[in-house]
Amino acid sequence: MVFVRWVDYFNKGLKLILGLLFVAMTLSFFFNIAVRFVFTALDIHISVPWTQELATYIMIWSVFLGIAVAVRNDKLISMELFVHTLPAKLGKILKVGALLLTVVFFFYLIFIGYDLAFNQGSRQTSPVMGISMTIIYISMFIGSIIAIVNIFTLFLETYLTKKDIRFVASDEESVD
C-alpha cells in the first residue's frame, strides 16, 4: 500500500497546484475586467491582452491535471446507473471494461500530446505572450500519464482492500 499512499500524496499536491492555478486564473480575469471597465471609467487607457491568453492556458492545464485527479477518486462522468443496476458480477465487468477503455483513451492522448508538444509546439509560439506552445501542449501528455497511473492505483487499491470497484467513489478514502 506504500505505492497507493505515495500516489495519494502526489494527488494531494496536484490538488494544491490546481487550487493555485484557479486563483491565478481568477486574478487574471479580474485584472482584465478591471482594466476594461474600471480603468476606462477613470479615463486610464491601458491594454493587457496577455490576461485572456494566460487564463486560457491556465484553464487548459487545469483540465488535464483535474482529469488526472478525478480519475484517482473515480469521479469521472459516467453512466453509473448501469453499473449499479446490473447484477454484481456484470456490473463489475462493465466498470472494469469502462476503466480499461479509459486507459486506452489516455494512451491515445499521450501520443497526441507528445506529437503536439514536441513536434508542432516546438515550432509555435503563443500569439500574445510569445511563449513556446510546447509548454501548453505538454499538459495533455503529462495529465494523461498521471491519469493512467491513477487508474492503475485505483485498480491496485481495489484489489488489495477487496473493495467492490463499483462503489469506490462512494466510500472514498483520501489523504485530505
Per-residue pLDDT, 78: 74
Is the pLDDT assigned to residue 18 strictly greater than 90? yes
- Residues above pLDDT 70, as percent of the chain: 95
Per-residue pLDDT, 176: 41
| Average pLDDT value for residue range 4-19 | 96
Is the pLDDT assigned to residue 170 strictly greater than 60? no
Q: How far apart are CA 125 and CA 132, in angstroms?
A: 4
pLDDT band at 169 (very low <50, low <70, confident <90, very high): low
pLDDT band at 134 (very low <50, low <70, confident <90, very high): very high
Which residues on adjacent β-strands are paired with residue 33?
A: none
Per-residue pLDDT, 175: 43
Domain encompassing residue 67? 2-167
Q: How far apart are CA 54 and CA 48, in angstroms?
A: 11
- Residues above pLDDT 90, as percent of the chain: 63
Nearest C-alpha neighbor of 71 from the set 124, 16, 148, 123 = 148
| Average pLDDT value for residue range 169-175 | 49
Instruction: Look at residue 174 and tell me if it is in a domain.
Output: no
Domain count, the chain: 1
Instruction: Look at residue 84 and tell me if it is in a domain.
Output: yes
End-to-end CA distance of the chain: 17
For the entire predicted model, the pTM comes to 0.87
Instruction: Look at residue 176 and tell me if it is in a domain.
Output: no
Per-residue pLDDT, 19: 97
Residue 130 Ramachandran class (φ > 0 left, ψ -120 to 50 alpha, else beta): left
Q: What DSSP line would sit under 111-150, residue for residue?
A: HHHHIIIIIIGGG-B-TTT--BTHHHHHHHHHHHHHHHHH
Instruction: Look at residue 173 and tell me if it is in a domain.
Output: no
Which residues on adjacent β-strands are paired with residue 125?
A: 132
Instruction: Look at residue 27 and tell me if it is in a domain.
Output: yes
Instruction: Look at residue 175 and tell me if it is in a domain.
Output: no
pLDDT band at 58 (very low <50, low <70, confident <90, very high): very high
Instruction: Look at residue 76 and tell me if it is in a domain.
Output: yes
Q: How far apart are CA 125 and CA 121, in angstroms?
A: 7
pLDDT in tens, 66-120: 999 999 988 877 777 778 888 888 988 988 999 999 999 999 999 999 999 999 9
